[in-house]
Amino acid sequence: MSTPAKTICLACAADDFYAMPLGVTVYSALANLSHDCYLKLFVLDDGIRNANKRKLAASLDADRVTIEWIQPPIKQIKQICDRSASPYPKSAYLRLLLPDIVPDEVEKVIYLDTDIVVTGNLETLWNLEIDNQALLAVQDPVHRFVNQAHHLKSFDLNTWGITSEHRYLNSGVLVMNLNKWRSEKLADRIMNFMSQHSELLFPDQDGLSIILANDWGELEPRWNQVHVVHSFSSWRESPYHQEMFENVLHHPYVIHFTSRPKPWMPGCTHPHRGVFLHYLQMTAWAGWTNTKWNYTEQLFRRSVRRFIRLAKQFYRRMVPTWTSTPSVQVAASDRNSPKR
């Protein structure tokens, strides 16, 4: 059975720290969606408290959206996360599990990070042709090409068939071709790569850019406006031509708050912080303020989580017999040939 044409499948992943921003992301997506479209939301739940689940449900029009809470199997993700030098939580990796944990009849899904406000119509994004590509994404305006990414300079990218033409993507907004992911076991290949390279700074994004180097299509940059755009004094400093620069800067479809502090944190000076706060007031979190107490509580809880991860990494280094699930080497020949 196919998904109805007017049903759009959206997926997000969050832990309890990001429950409120998740609410803003989804509310803004629904508020700007065509009124004859229905949203099927999959939330990859990494420990969201019931009170926050109820708030999310209360924030959304039940006649236009259904929420499916999924507690993903995180054993492999947890092993990768515990070993990783990256500070990102488990929820940042969960998008890779989507092909295996959403129903098989879901053939395509839009994935959004939860530090995002949607200002465009996701129906337009949904209707873009994906053909036989694994996903659609925006080329990252900072690390534009894989071999130019400074944090990957120590890698022998030739081993993976990477050339100067291979673009580096930003994984905050993805349109995923789940049929292709399933048939070619792309999630396993990417997670195997990540498990072999604990030094990756942006593990999922690096893995996607390298393993799918020949297998993703480029979205218009307005579908993922990242903070660096606001640092360019003019279009000449940017990677865009003048018209595109003006559109990305002033008329984005998706605002991605990639810098810190985030708009719900003290000291945020992001130019679009007001847009986030506008949508926040439309949700069940209306009136929420980042008091010194709840900010301190979040910092404490995050510090405890970081300490536990570092302790596990230290123990693994000190005890050589630490065991893990063996991974499989993925050679350059295991990817598709470049598309023309």
User: Each residue of 299-334: pLDDT tens digit?
Assistant: 555 565 555 555 655 555 565 544 444 443 333 333
Reading the block at residue 178, the tokens are 């789940």
Show the beta-strand stretches assigned E in the chain.
7-14, 38-45, 65-70, 108-112, 116-118, 135-139, 169-177, 216-218, 254-256
Class of domain 7-334: alpha beta
pTM, two decimal places:
0.84
pLDDT tens string 167-209: 999 999 999 999 999 999 999 999 888 888 878 888 889 999 9
Q: What is the mean pLDDT of residues 116-130?
A: 98
Say which residue the tokens 């940059």 belong to: 221
d(CA 124, CA 186): 26
The helix-helix angle for 186-196 and 75-83 (nearest 10°) equals 30
Q: What pLDDT is attached to residue 86?
A: 58
d(CA 201, CA 86): 5
Give the CA radius of gyration of the chain: 20
Q: What is the mean pLDDT of residues 48-54?
A: 97
Q: In this structure, are residues 12 and 41 in contact, taking their beta carbons and an 8 Å threshold?
A: yes
Alpha helix ranges (H) inside 197-291: 203-211, 242-250, 273-280
233, amino acid identity: S
Starting at the earlier edge strand, list the strands of the sheet with 216-218.
65-70, 38-45, 7-14, 108-112, 169-177, 135-139, 216-218
Assess whether pLDDT exceeds 90 at residue 136.
yes
Confidence tier at 275 by pLDDT (50, 70, 90)? very high
% of the chain beyond a pLDDT of 90: 67
Domain ranges of the chain: 7-334
